[in-house]
Structure 1
Amino acid sequence: MQFACRCGHVIKDQTDGLPYKGWVTRDKHEALMAAASKRIEDFLQATLAGTRHAWVAAHFGEDYARAVTPDEAVIFDLLSTAMDPVRLPLYSCDQCGRLWLRSHNRLLSYLPEDGERGVLDVGPDVPK
């Protein structure tokens, strides 16, 4: 996905780890986190019981299960999938500082009053 900011700068979302992209999490996520925790527990139980492949195939498909997928990646995908309904992507324009929130397949823009830029970049101190 890519779009033009009102200032003319093109914002691209074609990979992970973008310094100008973040997420807004709606406050109604407790039930989703509880469900994700249960799915992670079920995954761990299946792994301990020796039925990991069948469990992963049932939840993510056979192609995903056939790939050599580390437990960490499966748990990440379980959490990410659980949070999708309550997360909204947020973009920051590097040129003008405008914030763009994608909600209901629309882009809504917000312009910081003080002109600050790069508000979504976590900086070099965060583990990669």
Structure 2
Amino acid sequence: MRTINVGEGGMGRPSSETTAPPLGRLHDVGERRLMLHRSGSGGPGVVFLPGAGLVGPDFLNVQEGAAAFTTSVLYDRGGTGWSTSVPLPRGAAEVAVELRDLLRAAAVPGPAPGWPSGCGRTRRGCRS
């Protein structure tokens, strides 16, 4: 049996409980497992944070381009893509702490300027 998460865009994504991510790996962060794919080297690292129902691999072409210059990271925040589920909605502060802890666990050089998409635009925070 295969479990599918349905995001805001209606795209089915296998959950991390049943399926390995298509790239990168799952990192244990607190009580969660978060998908992170890392390419390139050097610092500061650049992080691509998909929103609006998208997941990390949706930004793969852009992420690989940035990897030619520095460490470049894609990740699925908790509750999206191949990362484990979390109660929603969550605020931008919760997502920021999750990302900080993930980058430490994966030894990504900081500081990490982000490419935010979908978090903090409203007072309700992240919903995808």
TM range (shorter): under 0.3
- More helix by proportion, 1 or 2? 1
Q: State the TM-score, normalized to the length of structure 1.
A: 0.22
Q: State the TM-score, normalized to the length of structure 2.
A: 0.22
| Larger-Rg structure | 1
